[in-house]
């Protein structure tokens, strides 16, 4: 499932407790793996939803002095003016598309699949009618709240602005918290209710 001609292990999966009628595909952040997020989703899971947390390929990351680490694409810098790894982002999007197509082959319709991510998880080819939940800590030292706010405004230009929810969490750094996970669960359960 990996981009940039590098391989990665199979995704961490939290299977549905009964027949899967929906799926959540969630991309981890730079330097992480899908395991921690799979564990987090196991704690908030709904019995009809399969949670898929793929692992990024290991590659050199320019921002981190070319150290090799799990990354969906190269990151050159963090400022809005920084050059972007467009080929790497496109490859990551293709890999996500392949995961979505696999779940559709498994019998889950595309409108019952949610794509999410932490920090580096990309969004491309967005449907204007999709719902977006963007969460951010107000004390994040890596991705300042101002950048998250700009991202939210950009998302509102790409999709119906009424479908974008931006939540901030007081005191949260570049991580997640219990309230955020509960908000994510509520968002997922609203969009993917049981159908049987």
Tens of pLDDT, residue by residue over 109-156, are 999 999 998 886 555 555 678 889 999 999 999 889 998 999 899 889
Domain boundaries, the chain: 10-120, 125-195
CA 77 remoteness from chain centre: 20
Is the per-residue pLDDT at 4 higher than 50? no
Task: Give the model's pLDDT for residue 7.
Answer: 57
Other residues' Cβ atoms within 10 Å of the Cβ of residue 175: 14
Task: Give the model's pLDDT for residue 120.
Answer: 67
Task: Give the model's pLDDT for residue 127.
Answer: 67
Q: How far apart are CA 196 and CA 56, in angstroms?
A: 34
Other residues' Cβ atoms within 10 Å of the Cβ of residue 188: 21
pLDDT, averaged across the chain: 90
Task: Give the model's pLDDT for residue 188.
Answer: 96
Q: How far apart are CA 149 and CA 41, in angstroms?
A: 25
Please state which CATH class domain 10-120 belongs to: alpha beta
**Residue that the structure tokens 């898929």 belong to:** 52
Task: Give the model's pLDDT for residue 157.
Answer: 87
Residue that wins the pLDDT comparison between 82 and 177: 177
**Residue that the structure tokens 């399969």 belong to:** 50
Phi, psi (rounded to 5 degrees) for 166: -115, 115
Task: Give the model's pLDDT for residue 121.
Answer: 54
The residues carrying an active-site annotation are: 119, 140, 174
pLDDT class of 1 with cuts at 50, 70, 90? very low
């Amino acid at each position: 499932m990996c981009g940039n001609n590098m391989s990665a292990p199979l995704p961490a999966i939290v299977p549905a407790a009964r027949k899967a009628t929906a799926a959540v595909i969630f991309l981890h952040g730079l330097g992480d793996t899908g395991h921690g997020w799979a564990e987090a989703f196991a704690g908030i899971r709904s019995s009809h939803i399969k949670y898929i947390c793929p692992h990024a390929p290991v590659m050199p990351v320019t921002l981190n002095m070319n150290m090799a680490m799990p990354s969906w694409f190269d990151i050159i810098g963090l400022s809005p003016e920084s050059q972007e790894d467009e080929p790497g982002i496109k490859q990551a999007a293709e890999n996500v598309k392949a995961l979505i197509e696999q779940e559709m082959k498994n019998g889950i319709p595309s409108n019952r699949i949610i794509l999410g991510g932490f920090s580096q998880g990309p969004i491309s080819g967005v449907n204007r009618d999709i719902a977006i939940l963007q969460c951010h800590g107000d004390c994040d030292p890596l991705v300042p709240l101002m950048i998250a706010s700009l991202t939210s405004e950009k998302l509102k230009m790409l999709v119906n602005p009424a479908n974008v929810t931006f939540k901030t969490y007081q005191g949260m750094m570049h991580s997640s918290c219990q309230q955020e996970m509960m908000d994510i669960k509520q968002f997922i359960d609203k969009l993917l209710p049981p159908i049987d």
